[in-house]
Amino acid sequence: MQNECWGVILAAGQGRRMAEATGGEAKQFLRWKGAPLWWHSAKAMAASPSIHGLVFVFPPEKKAEAEEELQKLNQSNNLGVRFAVTEGGARRQDSVRHGLEALPDECSQVLIHDSARPFLKTALVTRLARALDEIPGICGVIPGLPVTDTVKEIDEDSIVTGTPERAMLRAVQTPQAFPLEELRTAHHRAEEEGLNVTDDAALIELYDLPVLVIEGDPDNIKITNPQDLTMLTETKPLLPCCGYGYDVHAYGGNRPLMLGGVEIGGDLLVSAHSDGDVLLHALMDALLGCLAAGDIGHLFPDNDPRFDGISSVVLLDHVMSMAAEAGLRICHVDLTVIAQKPKLAPHAEAIRRNVARLLDLPLEHVAFKATTEEKLGFTGELKGLKAVALVSAVR
């Protein structure tokens, strides 16, 4: 088929401006989402229905290795288009020229793209190719964005020589789309005339051929300076989770009643191996529920002498360390104690504040309620009390 449109993926630069930050590795070989940067824009380009094939331009010394990786990536995640590989040159424009030479005879239009722009979207590729196809007489279509800063022209001594009207300025990106014949001619003439340019459109403009700017994509950033590396850090999404806890203690033991780490006192004593804080026990089980890490009976067995009479605050501290280690961020806790006696309303605020302190949560994210079971069941018969806890968190 004639009149094919191909992409040229430029990946032959040295990345000098960020060599120190990458330990000398050229930026287009940095890995992101399990593949080198050059792969990402290649995938975006190949996914456009307008693109029939790709030429990859790699540094001569890395060509064999990069080609092998390209074959492997294509095997597991097919590009779906033909592709070829060639060697780059010393300047960007040399690499483009080599890329153009590697295009097949069927190709009549080309999109030149910097592989250092890994966030390229297929939609932009298609818009560029379509505009080149559909607008009569146009010799280049490039993506551009309005500039937000006022731009100054200066001389060698940094003296301002002019202020171009901002509304008429555009910061341009790649891919840049051209009819192949015009771009080839422009590059050969530039070679003969010894011209240096930073983008391909500049060559077309030099020969007074019309180039159209269409709306670019603000996300289509070029990784250029060390601070741009933060854009490649991969953050795992936080997933919400809930944990539920339930605990019961019998009255009639020898432990003074503790709830949420607060001593309630009174004549109802609790039977327990630890201090018998039924509320903190339910809370710990809810936290462990968020971690899917078993329960407190398993973590702190009641036949282990180390836990005899131990404060539940100490046990909670241990569970909180486990939660921190697992990357759990607690958002909210909702706690209820079910007891016929004693009356808990006078203690509610102290319990709530103490739990907020223990969990390092703002007070408005700790709810505490107390209720009776209307003299029914074992709480109604004053045989014991129970607590339930619900923890919501993100991991």
- Residues forming contacts to ligand CTP in the complex (CB under 6 A) are 10-17, 26, 28, 57, 88-92, 95, 114-116, 222, 224
Question: What residues form DSSP beta bridges with 248?
Answer: 386
Beta carbon nearer to ligand CTP, 11 or 290: 11
Contact assessment for residue 238 and residue 394, using Cβ atoms and an 8 Å cutoff:
yes
Contact assessment for residue 262 and residue 350, using Cβ atoms and an 8 Å cutoff:
yes
* Shortest separation between residue 30's beta carbon and ligand CTP, angstroms: 11
* Shortest separation between residue 198's beta carbon and ligand CTP, angstroms: 8
Contact assessment for residue 99 and residue 10, using Cβ atoms and an 8 Å cutoff:
yes
* Shortest separation between residue 222's beta carbon and ligand CTP, angstroms: 5
Q: Which residues contact 389 (CB under 8 A, 6 or more apart)?
A: 243, 244, 245, 246, 279, 282, 283, 285, 286, 333, 334, 335, 336
| Distance linking the first and last C-alpha atoms of the chain | 53
Beta carbon nearer to ligand CTP, 41 or 379: 41
Beta carbon nearer to ligand CTP, 92 or 249: 92
Q: Closest residue to ligand CTP, Cβ-based?
A: 13
* Shortest separation between residue 49's beta carbon and ligand CTP, angstroms: 24
* Shortest separation between residue 29's beta carbon and ligand CTP, angstroms: 9
* Shortest separation between residue 18's beta carbon and ligand CTP, angstroms: 6
Beta carbon nearer to ligand CTP, 50 or 115: 115
- Count the alpha carbons within 13 Å of 233 in the hemisphere toward its beta carbon: 6
Beta carbon nearer to ligand CTP, 88 or 140: 88
239: which 2 tokens?
């997933």
Beta carbon nearer to ligand CTP, 26 or 339: 26
Q: What is the DSSP letter of 37?
A: H
Q: How far is Cα 268 from Cα 270, in angstroms, rounded to an integer?
A: 7
The stretches of the chain forming alpha helices (DSSP H) are 19-22, 37-46, 63-76, 92-101, 122-134, 180-193, 200-206, 278-291, 296-299, 312-325, 348-359, 377-380
Amino acid at residue number 390: L
Beta carbon nearer to ligand CTP, 95 or 274: 95
* Shortest separation between residue 13's beta carbon and ligand CTP, angstroms: 2
